[in-house]
Chains A and B, each alone.
Chain A
């Protein structure tokens, strides 16, 4: 029972993964027909890449901060690894028409090391801004969120101009480095290794204990003789390095760097995976196992929607799903953690009325839009309106019930 209570998040996530997977398998035969392909390329590989930088986001969150820069860090790293590879190749074979056609392994290794080195510099810069200049973590990493992506674009243009024609997108021709040509388990192995390392650090080392302490109560941690500045340095560097590893994997999955699109919104996906996995944004709380399962769950749900919404661009729905999951996960945490629990009144007063109307409208319009796009139902707009009305009415009923309950409760109290 203790075990269940402690690992409730993980248990719920494992159940959730199986349920979503099962439901998708029933409605879409892609899983049953090409099970292995689907699970490896559409779930495990993307989940691993997401999970890698979600681990970084989680460390920062547990340490009591926030890192908004991972999406842009991914773009910068993808660009860096490609552009340094290209530069090396051009220098080695100045006259070749297709210098990146055959890239020596050592060149890729050096490019990767340079990229990770830059990530450490970016992480250190964040730590400096936060601990010395004393910017709030939100502001410091927000600056990187907007800054690093545009830096990558300018960098790609400038370097490619220097070595030929100006271009934002950098291609590598040598298809040996295409991720699909590598064993399918490679990103997964990197992910699980990083997760194992982080798990060991957080649970069995002094630094890990200090990170939880700092996240829980930073002043008390400093007064206990903990060098909080160094811990923050580690956290932000770890976040930047994991994002850069994810960025390099992403670049290798298409063999090009496109800073305009790669990794956009990555920071929110990472924070979402961490939060779904049970990390508290107020710091000090979270486990590696939760984050691993959170990333997997997020990916399974996104893939399920892609399978179930057969027409149009399913990627358009990702934002809505992530938003919904994050709100649900945090709300669930709050509700089970608070003393009022489920007896809490969720739609009090005028704000409650507005909330239940807007939730109804949101549900109705999402249904109407997606049915219209799928071309399968004729009266999609009518169905949308009905869904909106039904949702609002059900929620109103809940409001009325809670109100009645509250009235009888206070009545009983005043009689006592």
Chain B
């Protein structure tokens, strides 16, 4: 696997700011020709930002990128492609309605006299896919493929572009085990052809299996690059967080539900339909309880149905769903988020930007939005009360900001998230649903969110949270339920929960499903 010491890309003091937030701070390191360099760092460490600069998505940054000894400044993604840099995004960039071949040749279609050469494109696409040793028909619609196959189409597309440097952003996050094995095979064959690979992942097992070297970023700063052979996963984890893992036990000592107290939320046999999909259901046979003062975690890979579960409980589910959902004994099935809020259920959504923030409103207006009724009479807002309520919640959650009237976008991700948690708390919920509450916020803010979860649980609020990071769930939750492809495949108490056990449950694909994917 021709890894040598020749430098292919050098990153020289690259910095990038988003408004007031420093995403990358003077990052410099080198990428060698033909190597597989794993890039590690927690969420918000700046990995994705750096990769977006490398592939020409972010054009506005300080510092230099040197490719093959030449200082380059890409004018866009196309320009980066000319230098042989391709990227496989975590969220795939394919057009569902077009065929595999059409996707592979998207933007550079082969044509003669202005007419498309369908046949040639199909043949070439088949050739690319063959190089990857996978059998996908080039004429099939991409939307009909499974995620793992779609990813291979993306890789074939990058190869078609003549990529010499391939960036893979958490490529296995949505794959089944057999698909991961196939991806490893593809990566091996790519490296035999001399392709340099930048591999972003959170999963130590993969990193240590695949990589030659590991580069670590933390809070936008470059920490170090080490040879994989000379380190242990534990050392890498330490470099990522910058301190020894202190397993502070945030979990509450009391046992919940053992003395027969009624749970705040009891779910039995919950199902949710999936119209138009071969599987017919997104969720099936989900059963669990959440007691007052208890934090229950929902684990699962991408597409396992975590967000879909939250949507059913919060009444913002677009599909038909059913089963027995009891809130303090009363059977409920919410039709609208307002019903849920009135029954004491509040949710903080997963995608802050798309489903949480109102960028046209101030911090105060964002925080008080769903609880305005508390300080209104006859629909009239008392601005004095509103301000004081907002001030007290901001102080309680320790939000750092210039003032209530600041623009919500001027806050850092962590403080924005606290504002959204504040919005949910102002509804005085009995049950708080937190869908990946630490997504995209920095390490310090995460710790504060954990602290807050603990405080809320001590105040007897029942909390159901999901996270894409297992250590986070293990750290915070009294119990963890595991979803896999819409089914509940495990339930662990705090003492039983290990990453290993949860991951096994989360990838418990039955034989039938595996046979389809191959």
Contact = CB atoms under 8 A, between A and B. Distances in A.
Interface residues of A, number: 25
A221 B365 CA distance: 12
B370 A224 contact: yes
Given A225-B337, A225-B340, A204 B380 contact: yes
Interface of A: 204-207, 209-210, 212-213, 215-217, 219-227, 284-285, 410, 413-414
Nearest to B349: A223
B359 interface: yes
Contacts of B423: 224
Given A204-B380, A205-B381, A217-B354, 17 more contacts: A206-B372, A206-B373, A209-B365, A209-B369, A212-B365, A216-B358, A216-B359, A216-B361, A219-B355, A220-B357, A221-B369, A223-B349, A223-B355, A224-B337, A225-B336, A225-B338, A226-B338
Contact of B347 (A219, A223, A227): A223
A222 B347 CA distance: 12
Contacts of A210: 369, 372
Contact of A220 (B342, B354, B379, B383): B354
28 contacts: A204-B380, A205-B380, A206-B372, A207-B379, A209-B372, A209-B381, A213-B361, A213-B365, A216-B359, A216-B360, A216-B361, A217-B355, A217-B357, A217-B358, A219-B354, A220-B349, A220-B356, A220-B357, A220-B358, A221-B369, A223-B347, A224-B369, A225-B370, A226-B370, A227-B338, A284-B360, A413-B73, A414-B71
Contacts of B427: 225
Given A209-B365, A209-B372, A225-B338, A217 B359 contact: yes
Nearest to A206: B372
Interface string B482-496: 000000000000000
B389 interface: no
Interface in B324-343: 336-338, 340-342
Counting chain B CB atoms within 10 Å of each CB, the highest count among A215, A217, A219 belongs to A217
B235 interface: no
A340 to B, nearest CB: 10
Determine chain A's interface SS by DSSP, over half rule: helix
Nearest to B382: A204
Contacts of B359: 216-217
Contacts of B337: 222-226
A288 to B, nearest CB: 16
A209 B369 CA distance: 8
B186 interface: no
Interface string B365-401: 1000110110010011101000000000000000000
Closest CB pairs A-B (n = 8): A216-B360, A284-B360, A224-B370, A225-B341, A225-B338, A216-B358, A225-B337, A206-B372
A210 B370 CA distance: 9
Contacts of A215: 360
Contacts of B347: 223
A226 B339 CA distance: 10
A223 B360 contact: no
A203 to B, nearest CB: 9
B174 interface: no
B316 interface: yes
A222 B358 CA distance: 12
B360 A285 contact: yes
A217 B423 CA distance: 16
Nearest to A217: B358
Contacts of B314: 223
Nearest to B60: A339
B296 to A, nearest CB: 21
A398 B231 CA distance: 59
Nearest to A414: B73
Contacts of A222: 316, 336-337
